[in-house]
Amino acid sequence: MCGIIGIIGGKPVSRLVYHGLFSIQHRGQSSAGKLTYDGNIHVTKEAGLVRDVFNDEKKIDTSGNVGIGHTRYSTAGLDDIESLKRNAQPEYLVNPFLAAVFNGNIYNCSEMVKKTKRKPRTDSDIQWLLLPMADNLYKKELKVNAIFNACETVMHQVKGSYSALFLADSGENPFLFAMTDPYKIRPLVLGKSNGMYCIASETRVFKKINFEYVKEIPGGTVIAIDKEGNVYEKHIISKPEKPCMFEFVYFAKPDSRINGQSIHNVRVDIGRQLANEHPVEADIVVPVPESGRHYATGYTGESGIPLDEGLMKDKAERSFIQQTQETRDKVVEEGLSFLRSVLQGKRIVLVDDSIVRGTNIRKLVRGIKNAGAKQIHIRIGCPPLVAPCYLGIDMRSKKEFIARDSNGEIKTGDAIAKEIGADSLAYISMEGLQKAIGFDICRGCIDFPNGYPVEMQKDVMKLFRHDRKGIRAYECM
């Protein structure tokens, strides 16, 4: 999971890309970068947050009327600092000149390495979009049909999820173009402002840089934009779209929209469904900040149990997307305070979006108990996560899920509640989640393997069989 942005138009885009990166910082915190182009390449990328990478005006204000940017959440490569630096995006080649950023995960890397004579410079799976794309554009005049043909060839080669942006040029003819996988697993939207165009991961970017939303970029589609602001579109592969369930549950910000659906409204509806499916006698509903807030709003509205702020968040980092268990623990440990005056003597409904490894929830239950709570009833806005995601969420091994026991069997809510010291624990049902979102979704991590697109199910079963604790299966095959 990453955040991407690209802008092209009749004036310098560097500051717009920079400000847009802040709007997608939540999608990746391991590295950030941007590249602008004016006949010369101006690139800055580094491990760390946007504010740390772009720490002086020379890095922020570079020339060029076209540019791309990226915030990275690592799903390929090692997690040490040098690897995070090396795998930071944008990535580019000079023969032909082609730069790229992407959000998703290519899981047939072992096949793709055989399809090109070019050597990857990094461990990131962006190479398996960038290198074959460069092969197909090499020694060709850069025109719209050449871009469409190259994208079509690559689409039929790669397997996985991708919403990708490319910046290409041959002489005085730069193009910004985007390509989405046929199922549109990862979001991508188009906006405009005074003859300039922006393509980004989330609609909230447009609010930040004062662009107008134009449309969702459909699955299996290529959109190319030239320096005059001409927009060309070709739909290449038709499949039923299956956007990632976890985008609605966790990743996207509540002020964004996916396929016309408000993320805020979806999460409130999930909270209502939870209250109907799993009622409980309690004194207050307490959200886990900030991830559980909108779910708790729906739960309290449906149940009539009053909402109160029993927890305070002190840090902006998101624990789930930290690179190691040690840093996840540190974010949770340093990031929350417990309000004894709210919690003491109360029967608590603690509402959150999801449980993956149990890092957060164990510490929360312990902290709430220490603050004097009488009972703790946990309600979760996502069904149990039971399998790794092979399409861009870094849940690496089937052995890391709290919902699976040591024999690989799925635990009951009661068993998990006992394990973490809560009085009860209940998840929203698959049907309730689907109803709240309102259209078909990719749900492979909660309904394995049937929740994946049908043509991927054989592949993901093979990956699942190669699963080893702490190792991403698609990197060791």
Report CA-CA distances (Å) from 162 to 176, 273, 417.
16, 31, 37
Of the candidates 42, 39, 40, which has an alpha carbon nearest to the alpha carbon of residue 15? Answer: 42
Catalytic, 2? Answer yes
* Residue environment code for 38-50, b if the CB has 16+ CB neighbours within 10 A, otherwise e: beebbbbbbbbbb
Q: How far apart are alpha carbons 376 and 4 in whole angstroms?
A: 39
**Burial classification of residue 318, based on how many CB atoms lie within 10 Å of its CB (0-12 exposed, 13-18 middle, 19 or more buried):** buried
- The gap between the terminal CA atoms of the chain, to the nearest Å, is 21
Cβ atoms of residues 410 and 355 within 8 Å: no
Strand partners, 457: none
Active-site entry in 2, 109, 244, 442: 2
Cβ atoms of residues 49 and 25 within 8 Å: yes
What's the alpha-carbon Rg for the chain, to the nearest Å? Answer: 22
Of the candidates 250, 333, 332, 343, which has an alpha carbon nearest to the alpha carbon of residue 293? Answer: 250
Of the candidates 84, 29, 76, which has an alpha carbon nearest to the alpha carbon of residue 392? Answer: 76
Cβ atoms of residues 68 and 16 within 8 Å: no
Pairing status of strand 336-338 against strand 311-313? antiparallel
Residue 265, classed as helix, strand or coil, is: helix
Cβ atoms of residues 24 and 202 within 8 Å: yes
Q: What is the 3-state secondary structure (H, E, C) of 32-80?
A: EEEEEECCCEEEEEEECCHHHHCCCHHHHCCCCCEEEEEEECCCCCCCC
Cβ atoms of residues 107 and 75 within 8 Å: no
Cβ atoms of residues 27 and 74 within 8 Å: no
* Residue environment code for 430-450, b if the CB has 16+ CB neighbours within 10 A, otherwise e: bebbbebbeeebbbbbbebbe
Q: Cβ atoms within 10 A of the Cβ of 413, count?
A: 18
- Distance, C-alpha 28 to centroid of its chain: 8
DSSP 292: T
Q: Is 260 left (phi over 0), alpha (psi -120 to 50) or beta?
A: left
Strand partners, 47: 31
Q: If you count them, how many residues does the chain have?
A: 477
Q: Which residues are catalytic?
A: 2
